[in-house]
Amino acid sequence: MATNLLVIGPAGSGKTSLTARLSEWMAKSGTSSCLINLDPGAERLPYLPDYDVRSIVRVCDLMEKEGLSPNGALIKASEIIESRIGDVAGSIHSLQGDFKIIDTPGQMELFLFRQLGSSLASKLSGKTAAILLLDLSAVSGADYAALRLLGLIVELKLGVPSLDIISKSDLLDRKASVLWQERITAPKSEGLKGELVHNLSSLLSNMERRNRVIAVSSVSGEGFESLYNALGELFCSCGDLS
């Protein structure tokens, strides 16, 4: 049975680029995949989707016909998709492939913090995992703790296992990668902010599972074999990805 991959991350983290490049890598490795676009606001895609939610609703159409702002149109579009989530899940189920790579909306909160994400995850057949993309190229200080917390929120909200993936590794400062892999929050913050970061980091260390941290680049192709192997390990009964 196919494995569903929910590609999630903040705006600009590289979700669509990774979706396209991962499918290409799988094809070269003899693994079949289907591509699903769940972003009603997408204008152009670097891949041809096997299912496209824009067949139901487009943000640009809502803005034009209903006079909505971009944000208002995005929220309205997500509500329309939620109302037809059974049809969306059924269309995805009908696709054939070893993996179904689902490119989620550019604005992560539409998928993760509304009902859209959890509703879809609960209706997908087969195994489902989330790939959380983290762009560390502009991250510092308390951002490390906040992003670590985001990985736990993904699993809590969607009810599926997840992988933390560092995107845009070709642009990444070596120090940032080492800090993330060692689960260090740096540089140290002073005052109340520093205390909050310290307490949050301690809490996360007790709660989060230790797993392999993978850096990928959709430009150079780095890391996709490691990503593929980690997906297989994610459902291993041993559960140890260290």
Residues of the chain where predicted confidence (pLDDT) is lower than 70: 137-145, 172-194, 197-212, 237-242
Q: Record the pTM.
A: 0.86
Kindly list the structural domains of the chain, giving each domain's residue range(s) and its CATH number in brackets, ordered by start: 3-234 (3.40.50.300)
pLDDT tens track for 184-237: 444 455 666 667 766 666 666 665 555 567 888 898 888 999 999 999 888 774
For 109, counting Cβ atoms within 10 Å of its Cβ (0-12 exposed, 13-18 middle, 19+ buried), the class is middle
Q: Which residues contact 196 (CB under 8 A, 6 or more apart)?
A: 142
Q: CB atoms < 10 A from the CB of 128, how many? A: 21
Q: What is the reported pLDDT for 25?
A: 96
Q: What is the reported pLDDT for 186?
A: 46
